[in-house]
Chain A
Amino acid sequence: MADGRLPILRPEGNVPESPRLHPGAGEEAAVPVLLTRREDATSWFESKVSGALGWARANSLFQYPFVTACCGMEYMSVMCGRYDLARFGAEFPRFTPRQADLLMIVGTINVKQSPVLLRVYEQMCEPKWVMAFGVCASSGGFYDNYATVQGADRVIPVDVYVPGCPPRPEQVLDGLKILQEKIQTQRHVLHSVERSPEMREDKKRSFLGKLLAK
């Protein structure tokens, strides 16, 4: 609020979501638990590695523009010379979801299209983030009718919403900065095995943890 802007709401967000590493003012710090020295050292290293990975991931977002409607015009504007999203580390649109980290939903999502959007999202490799570009993708916008999905977050989880019909390029840049902040504060592990439930307890270590445990 220091710069007069509304606080950024941080929802329980997208995969992979994790506790904040550096809680802000007003948020509770992580409850300290008993750690062995090795675990202490591991988590310290992990937090450093996570910070570096977050920095790298936040500044090399490869986007997949899922352009469906008139917001596409503004997308072109934001990618071109005057505003140039590439300056902020979202350089290159990839037109295959398999090579992208950031799914930009640019335009109206109607019901007939929602399976396609879901398929595109599922084809993206982890880690992945989603930006809803324009009010149509965020909430359905003024298409409050039988044909339109009332927000892309009904179909796939969305990380950042950029309102506006269409949003100004500055808003998109702002949304990208917010997303980068989110990525920076997420916990990134080199190799996560914690998600598969069938893993045995002693194997629940990250790659770095295994390396240090040797």
Chain B
Amino acid sequence: MAQALVDLLRDNFKEAVLSSHSHRGDEVAVVRRESVQEICRFLKDGEARMQLLRYIACVDLLTYDTEMTGGGALASNEVPAYDLAKKAPREPRFQLGYNVYSVVRKQSVRLRVELRSDDVKVPTVTSVWRTADWWERYLFDMFGIDFIGHPNLKRILMYPEFQGHPLRKDYPTRKRQPLVAELEFPDLIRGPGPGPGGAGVPMSQTHVGRKNVDPTTYD
């Protein structure tokens, strides 16, 4: 269907399009990071007429090979401790997906940009689609992707005091960064005691099946 679009891209950007494939009817073109801006400009203004940027998404593949395919971590209800030394990190670690749509042709195509973890920079497409502004701020907030040339690259969802990027796989799952000091409140079931949850254990650690979590990454 949208194969013609990918062929068009391949004809016009011979070196920039690294590969392409189709996934359940969605055409995907893996493109080089340096030329993402001109490809987007071509897609919007050229004969493809892709006026609508549906979204920009990002995937962190850091634990993709171990956690997602291992099965063991999914079967257990324990939160796996993030021991990155034991897991083979995957490179390139991040994948950006630009899903663009043409209202006229009623076709969509997805551009994929792969980023290595030591260099998470990509040119902004804010000048092409205005809506890319907030998507790129969102990806900066959640994944720490650095969009070169973005006019206002700051956090959009989290508060400015927040440290780190929460959707990265090496962000501790249960790490909290409270803005106001948390109250010492009594645990109604287990009675009062030291620590935020009573009896020396934080309230959130008293849930079933979560006893083995590393306390340093916890709350």
Q: Are B204 and A111 in contact (CB under 8 A)?
A: no
Which chain A residues lie closer than 8 Å to B171 at the CB level?
146
Which of these, A11, A114, A140, A151, contacts B179 with CB under 8 Å?
A114
The reply to whether B158 and A147 form a contact with Cβ atoms under 8 Å apart is: yes
On whether A111 and B159 interact (CB within 8 A), knowing A146-B176, A150-B203, A150-B204, the answer reads yes
Instruction: Kindly state whether residue A38 has any CB partner on chain B within 8 Å.
Output: no
Within the assembled complex, what's the spacing in Å between the Cα atoms of A140 and B203? 11
Q: Could you say which of B173, B177, B178 contacts A154, with CB atoms under 8 Å apart?
A: B178
* CB of A212 within 8 Å of the partner chain: no
Q: Do residues B179 and A112 form an inter-chain contact, with CB atoms below 8 A?
A: yes
Contact A111 B183 (CB under 8 A): no
A56-115 interface with B by 8 A CB criterion: 111-112, 114-115
Q: Are A155 and B183 in contact (CB under 8 A)?
A: yes
- Closest B residue to A119 by CB, please name it: B180
- Least distance between A157 CB and chain B CB atoms (Å): 7
Find chain B residues with CB under 8 A from A115 CB: 179-180
- In the bound complex, CA of A155 to CA of B178 (Å): 10
Task: Give residues 127-178 of A contacting B (CB, 8 Å).
Answer: 140, 144-147, 149-151, 153-157
B158: A residues at CB distance < 8 A: 112, 147
How many inter-chain residue pairs (CB < 8 Å) link A and B?
Answer: 49
Task: Collect the chain A residues with CB atoms within 8 Å of residue B179's CB.
Answer: 111-112, 114-115
A112→B159 contact, CB < 8 A? yes
A33 → B minimal CB distance (Å): 26
Assess whether B166 is interfacial by the CB under 8 Å rule.
yes
Q: Tell me the smallest distance from the CB of A93 to a CB of chain B, in Å.
A: 25
Q: Are B180 and A118 in contact (CB under 8 A)?
A: yes
Chain B residues in 8 Å Cβ range of A154: 178, 182-183, 185, 196
Docked-complex contact B183 and A153, CB < 8 angstroms = yes
Question: Which residues of chain B have C-beta atoms less than 8 A from A145's C-beta?
Answer: 166, 173
Q: Which residue of A lies closest to B207 (CB)?
A: A144
Provide the bound-state CA to CA distance between A145 and B179, in Å.
15
Interface size class of A (residues with CB under 8 A): 20 to 34
Q: Return chain B residues, CB-CB under 8 Å to A155.
A: 180, 182-183
Query: What is the CB-to-nearest-CB distance from B162 to chain A, in angstroms, rounded to a whole number?
Result: 8
Contact: A12 with B178, CB < 8 Å?
A: no
Contact with A along B150-188 (1 / 0, CB 8 A): 000000011100000010000101111111101101101
For residue A211, CB closer than 8 A to chain B, the reply is no
Q: Which residues of A contact B204 (CB under 8 A)?
A: 140, 144, 150
Q: Which residues in A have their C-beta under 8 angstroms from that of B196?
A: 154
Min Cβ gap B127→A in Å is: 30
Q: State whether A150 touches B176 (Cβ < 8 A).
A: yes
Known contacts A12-B186, A111-B178, A156-B183: A151-B159 contact under CB 8 Å: no
Contact A11 B186 (CB under 8 A): yes
* Chain B neighbourhood of A118, CB < 8 A: 180
**Residue A213 is within 8 A (CB to CB) of chain B in the complex:** no
Q: Do B177 and A111 touch (CB < 8 A)?
A: yes
CB-based contact B178/A114 at 8 Å = yes
**When chains A and B are docked, how far (Å) is the Cα of A112 from the Cα of B160?**
9
Q: Given A9, A111, A112, A156, which contacts B176 in the complex, CB threshold below 8 Å?
A: A111
Given known contacts A11-B188, A12-B186, A112-B159, is B178 in contact with A151 (CB within 8 Å)?
no
A114 engages B203 (CB within 8 Å): no
Interchain residue pairs with CB less than 8 A apart (5):
A112-B158, A112-B159, A115-B180, A154-B185, A157-B185
In the complex, besides A146-B175, A157-B183, 6 extra interface pairs with C-beta distance below 8 angstroms are A12-B186, A114-B180, A145-B166, A149-B178, A150-B176, A150-B203
